[in-house]
Structure 1
């Protein structure tokens, strides 16, 4: 073959190197793309992201506050125990022995305009007295150390009455270590006249290492329910916040479908956007919490406040919040996209969708009630398993939130006709009621939980609020003093009667009379009370018809079987003896033979007093050893500050005089503190719900900005649109409140059965329903100014 016969064959093209395949998983790239859209999606993207982040941040801030409650309670309890008197024995009446470090102290607390002021008069026994936490040295006589809140109160010119009652010179301020809360009113004052004879109690140290009083099982159930009722609306609100701006997000995802993404990619991109908004919300919530914590000392709700250092959330709960919030945002977003078809040419959401199914929505509340039934009743003194109680309540409340969308859709579908605003509102709800239902779900859950709790509180009221038998219509203040030397006893009563605003004083000098004789250690000396008072006073204590100064009476209790010791001691015509406690010979006095016997009468304090009662002419009250002045004071409530004038008189006579305000009902302190905690938490939750509804309302208005501008351009009146927005909010709210009332009553009745109580009032839902309606009205009014701005013709502009 020649060279001419040879054919040149083209050389095979060299193989091009393959593009390097990314090792990053596809789902990570899609999440990253969603984060980029959320972070750099222009004004619309940032607006939606910020709405979500602010909404989530509000919920996270409240969750962090809730996570701080255990630490807050421990710190408050620790400071309270640190300043409590150290017990040297189990007997509360045992005083320490005098030493160089012991201190005499008497409780000199008072009240001022319904606020309690704790205070103590103190006198050192030696050169190195023990000090309560918060002060560096014991105040000198005539001086006092005060808490910052009390100092502010005393510095105000409007509180001249309080300054008159505490005439000591302020020389020191009690530090935080000695206070339970920043707003506590407390003082320590020095005294040079305090002795054991004038009521001083000797102590050797501070700090109570004993365990806290255990809570009643009924109170444990209450606390569990309060936690559930306050935190479930927060969780629902966070789940609602991550869906802000969902309509515009879906339109953007439809554009991505047009350039080649599939359904799974769009869902992962949407999850990335939700993840970014949730994480940003975590940071915003943390910033809100840290910033708000600095000002928490200035906030006082229902007489409760806290130091900034007390608000320190538990680390494990913080980790749980940091993981649960983003996960909730992603899961809620993915669940929401299952009801939306995102195609390259648009989003299918406004067509007729399939009806919401009811059966599975009823499973949760029914399951919750079944959990309570399987758990059974709570034993009065038995242990309480908190998990079934909390689980059952969560199932019921979440079930109510899930039931609401079905009920709103079923109700608005039957609404037709009516005025133009009504038609605009109902038609909008018929097209898309999901957003309105989500906005109201927090109110529904909060009101339902509050109704159930109020029913439980009312049913348990009798267990923790006892009838004292006191009669505030006869006297409002009880006063007792041990300073009776000289004419101090009668002088005290005279001064109280001369006080401005005082109508009547039931004042007596109290002592104890015994039957003279010699008794062995195994024998008990017959003893009875001995009271000195004028005729008007004695008639308040016994059923006396005829009385003149100088008369004496033997008073029997209603139960004649309890009159034995009275008759053994009060022998008519015989001598009774008054013990002088080693300060001389016993004082002897003869009970007249013609002394009548009368029956006792309950005094304003609710007590039946019996024994020997005499008028001042029968004995010199100044000579009675170991006596005590007791006064029950009736004031004219129409006189401003009448009670404060009485307290000032008492403090001037005896700073250690014990004053008690008479009430017909006495509340258990643990029960009262839990009820206070509920009020504080409910206030915070309602504020959060109001903020969430306002943000949700503004987000819906922003998405319909162009539609509102078009309606205005075609001649629709602004008032018409305003009313339509109000109706659009009010209709789901009315339905939500109806669901809340029904669910709350069912849950409350179940809880009452669980603790073995009867439902005392089926109409307790009225205040809470009214609060929910007022909340909606407030949100609607606050959304009107943005609505007017969005109805301007400039809203028709587009790019």
Structure 2
């Protein structure tokens, strides 16, 4: 770079801050607009480290043996899993007991809690002292001996506790022995379909951010062009003017990068107090990838120079003024179609190649194809706005003012909503793909929550006599309206020649509860019934079997010869009843004596009792800390798919906030740049209400056209994505409507927030000049 070029760039940088208060305001708006985008981009490239840090901490505290035998040593610690729910939040619970003089300690603890004491996470400690945690205090009423440190938690918002116990034994179900904590993080990666979803999510969420950065770089274009005309007046040629403009844009972009970095650092300091869709991270986890962060820092100023130089193509900067190409100059369509066509051509070779069982795909090919299609929305929108508004004539004064402004310079208004249109198009395509693959990641459980809402399982340490006590405790819980209980055991038949051991379920319950499972008719203690279920062949009466409950050694038993065959009914938990149903008197005393029996209670609660579920969980905890409680759900969703969907909702919420904030900055900058024109119109008698409606229409027309274009592009993108995963093309009209309505709501909210500034700019003081 020659010294003259450097001087011209530096002159442009000086001019970026020139112009008194107006220049400073212009520079501040540019810095804020670019900074918002840079902060979002830095946060996005921090996501891999955030999720890896959470995963590493979770792996470091792993305490499950999964069947592995661990020998008893001086360092042994017994650990029992006692996870639970409170409201809509999960609580990670562990019971611990030292087996030696130097027991190993989980990460985040300095010592094991003594029996009857808890060590809790900071979030759980805060919850327990609030009125919101009153019911939880009834369950976890133990004194807190300390707090779990950061290294023992996935995130600052996690609810977790360790409870000391002096009754744990290695033979207790759900209890394992550990001589060290932590396992290698061997979690499986995402299958190709979920990976494709994640890649598209990143493109859809980040591309609108880049569009807003490019739009913010062009703040104050009219004022800049007038300054460049003054530079031409003192002898600068066209090339020098362009380089001066590039220097001005570069400094503005650098200020935006610095502002974005400061916003990122400020936001990171508060990230520990924010939880989105159940995900929370520590500030130290929010660390952008160094290579990608450096790329952002270098790309934003470079993009600023490119955008500025390209924007000057439609401007003739002369010594005596600025001449812009008239609104009648038609934009060319053919080259704007190249981007979406190129995107489709990139994606077409992938059609039918991505499935849950496939080996993978080219991620960069997908990123390029989706980016080209969405960028086509950005290039087509100015052409669409011009083509439509040039044919509009007549109407009320406010409408004519808005249309005339769009006819003279519709590109500015189109740029303001380009990011919204790109976001909507991407969201529609993504929604279509989500709707198509969702069925592959969820299954029908057969559960019927209309008949019972909660399933609770508790151990019966003293055998079947404890069942009546547990059932009565559940029935007495406030909010419970009905309950049925039973024990599920397993019958093993004679091994087949190939070594396979057939098995069938054995349900133990009283007559009243058995009547809910099958059409048994008359019933008395000692009766047994064989369920006639064609999908599950039960052992015939007189068949010798071995009864097993949990991991007991088994008890020989013969299905009574007088067992009647009965028709099954639909069980709210397991669907059609199968196997053999027995009353207590039909089983050997060794089976009824436990201690391996478990009671399963199906509980119906009053819908008006909002705390009924938590009270049932508390009752279960008091009966058996190693039991389980869950709410019946007709569908079961794959955990990884649920995590991807939750991440999408969290990212969409953040992106939507950024879109609104950035768009507000854009609108305020446009109003500020036209403050003198607004003041002149009011001075000549234009009503404020008319100007307000004109601004609304001026925003609404590009928005409506942008949403129409976005819907068309989104449906096209969704169709291609569906063909890639081999799914039939189906349009989710409900999803399209919701996405479009949200985008429209953001635009209307931004317009409403800009009205006070509009009214202030229409005062007579706007006629003053510096």
| TM-score past 0.5 threshold | yes
User: Would you say the 8 A contact 2:715–2:731 is kept in 1?
Assistant: no
Render the CA deviation track for 1:191-243: whole Å, top value 9, x for unaligned. Answer: 11222444222233221214220210001111110111111111111111110
1:774 aligns with 2:745: yes
Render the CA deviation track for 1:664-688: whole Å, top value 9, x for unaligned. Answer: 1111111111111111111111111
Q: CA deviation at 1:448?
A: 0.5
Render the CA deviation track for 1:409-451: whole Å, top value 9, x for unaligned. Answer: 1111111111111111111111111110000000000010011
Name which of structure 1's ranges 421-430 and 628-637 shifts more when overlaid on structure 2: 628-637
Matches within 5 A, 1:434-513: 434-485=411-462, 487-512=465-490
Name which of structure 1's ranges 724-733 and 618-627 shifts more when overlaid on structure 2: 618-627
Partner SS, residue 553 of structure 1? strand
Alpha carbons of structure 1 residues 594 and 177: separation in structure 2 relative to 1, 3 Å: same
Q: CA deviation at 1:790?
A: 0.6
Alpha carbons of structure 1 residues 780 and 583: separation in structure 2 relative to 1, 3 Å: closer
User: Would you say the 8 A contact 2:549–2:597 is kept in 1?
Assistant: no
1:333 aligns with 2:308: yes
Q: CA deviation at 1:397?
A: 0.4
Match of 2:573 in 1: 605
Render the CA deviation track for 1:55-79: whole Å, top value 9, x for unaligned. Answer: 1111110111011111111111111
Partner SS, residue 338 of structure 1? helix
Render the CA deviation track for 1:588-636: whole Å, top value 9, x for unaligned. Answer: 7775543212244442222555443223455678525532211222222
Match of 1:671 in 2: 641
Match of 1:357 in 2: 332
User: Would you say the 8 A contact 2:392–2:403 is kept in 1?
Assistant: yes
Partner SS, residue 531 of structure 2? strand
Match of 1:403 in 2: 380
User: Would you say the 8 A contact 1:489–1:622 is kept in 2?
Assistant: no
**RMSD over aligned Cα atoms:** 2.4
User: Would you say the 8 A contact 1:217–1:378 is kept in 2?
Assistant: no
Partner SS, residue 116 of structure 1? strand
1:430 aligns with 2:407: yes
Alignment partners' CA distance in 2, 1:187 and 1:544 = 46
Match of 1:269 in 2: 244
Q: CA deviation at 1:129?
A: 1.6
1:208 aligns with 2:183: yes
Alignment partners' CA distance in 1, 2:667 and 2:555 = 83
Matches within 5 A, 1:253-332: 253-332=228-307
User: Would you say the 8 A contact 1:602–1:609 is kept in 2?
Assistant: yes
Q: CA deviation at 1:509?
A: 2.7
Matches within 5 A, 1:2-81: 25-81=3-59
Match of 2:600 in 1: 630
User: Would you say the 8 A contact 2:50–2:285 is kept in 1?
Assistant: yes
Q: CA deviation at 1:324?
A: 0.4
Partner SS, residue 138 of structure 1? coil
Partner SS, residue 300 of structure 2? helix
Match of 1:244 in 2: 219
Alpha carbons of structure 1 residues 527 and 371: separation in structure 2 relative to 1, 3 Å: closer
User: Would you say the 8 A contact 2:351–2:725 is kept in 1?
Assistant: no
Render the CA deviation track for 1:330-356: whole Å, top value 9, x for unaligned. Answer: 000000001100111111126355211
Alignment partners' CA distance in 2, 1:48 and 1:629 = 71
Alignment partners' CA distance in 1, 2:621 and 2:769 = 76
Alpha carbons of structure 1 residues 522 and 364: separation in structure 2 relative to 1, 3 Å: closer
Name which of structure 1's ranges 351-360 and 73-82 shifts more when overlaid on structure 2: 351-360
Alignment partners' CA distance in 1, 2:550 and 2:24 = 84
User: Would you say the 8 A contact 2:431–2:732 is kept in 1?
Assistant: no
Partner SS, residue 510 of structure 1? strand
Match of 1:377 in 2: 352
Corresponding pairs, count:
763
Match 2:318 to one of 343, 362, 372: 343
Name which of structure 1's ranges 617-626 and 500-509 shifts more when overlaid on structure 2: 617-626
Match of 2:509 in 1: 533
Matches within 5 A, 1:187-202: 187-199=161-173, 200-202=175-177
Match 1:691 to one of 661, 670, 688: 661
Partner SS, residue 745 of structure 1? helix
Match 1:751 to one of 721, 743, 751: 721
Match 1:417 to one of 378, 394, 408: 394
Q: CA deviation at 1:577?
A: 6.3
Alignment partners' CA distance in 2, 1:558 and 1:94 = 38
Name which of structure 1's ranges 189-198 and 541-550 shifts more when overlaid on structure 2: 541-550
User: Would you say the 8 A contact 1:275–1:330 is kept in 2?
Assistant: yes
Name which of structure 1's ranges 54-63 and 595-604 shifts more when overlaid on structure 2: 595-604
User: Would you say the 8 A contact 1:142–1:189 is kept in 2?
Assistant: yes
Match 1:180 to one of 154, 159, 162: 154
Alpha carbons of structure 1 residues 581 and 312: separation in structure 2 relative to 1, 3 Å: closer
Match 2:520 to one of 544, 552, 555: 544
Match of 2:760 in 1: 789
User: Would you say the 8 A contact 2:490–2:549 is kept in 1?
Assistant: no
Alpha carbons of structure 1 residues 157 and 375: separation in structure 2 relative to 1, 3 Å: closer
Alignment partners' CA distance in 2, 1:122 and 1:206 = 13
Match of 1:555 in 2: 531
Question: Which structure would you say has the larger Rg?
Answer: 1
Partner SS, residue 758 of structure 1? coil
Alpha carbons of structure 1 residues 589 and 739: separation in structure 2 relative to 1, 3 Å: closer
User: Would you say the 8 A contact 2:458–2:620 is kept in 1?
Assistant: no
Q: CA deviation at 1:539?
A: 2.4
Match of 2:694 in 1: 724
Alignment partners' CA distance in 1, 2:526 and 2:214 = 80
Alignment partners' CA distance in 1, 2:294 and 2:528 = 76
Matches within 5 A, 1:46-195: 46-85=24-63, 87=65, 92-195=66-169
User: Would you say the 8 A contact 1:275–1:329 is kept in 2?
Assistant: yes
User: Would you say the 8 A contact 1:404–1:437 is kept in 2?
Assistant: yes
Match of 2:562 in 1: 594
Render the CA deviation track for 1:441-475: whole Å, top value 9, x for unaligned. Answer: 00000010011101010010111111111111122
Match of 1:9 in 2: none
User: Would you say the 8 A contact 1:350–1:431 is kept in 2?
Assistant: no
Name which of structure 1's ranges 614-623 and 664-673 shifts more when overlaid on structure 2: 614-623
Alignment partners' CA distance in 2, 1:727 and 1:539 = 68
TM-score by length of 2: 0.95
Alpha carbons of structure 1 residues 759 and 117: separation in structure 2 relative to 1, 3 Å: farther
Q: CA deviation at 1:394?
A: 0.3
Match of 1:17 in 2: none
Alignment partners' CA distance in 2, 1:524 and 1:707 = 88
Alignment partners' CA distance in 1, 2:665 and 2:492 = 76
Alpha carbons of structure 1 residues 275 and 589: separation in structure 2 relative to 1, 3 Å: closer
Q: CA deviation at 1:546?
A: 3.2
Alignment partners' CA distance in 2, 1:582 and 1:436 = 71
TM-score by length of 1: 0.91
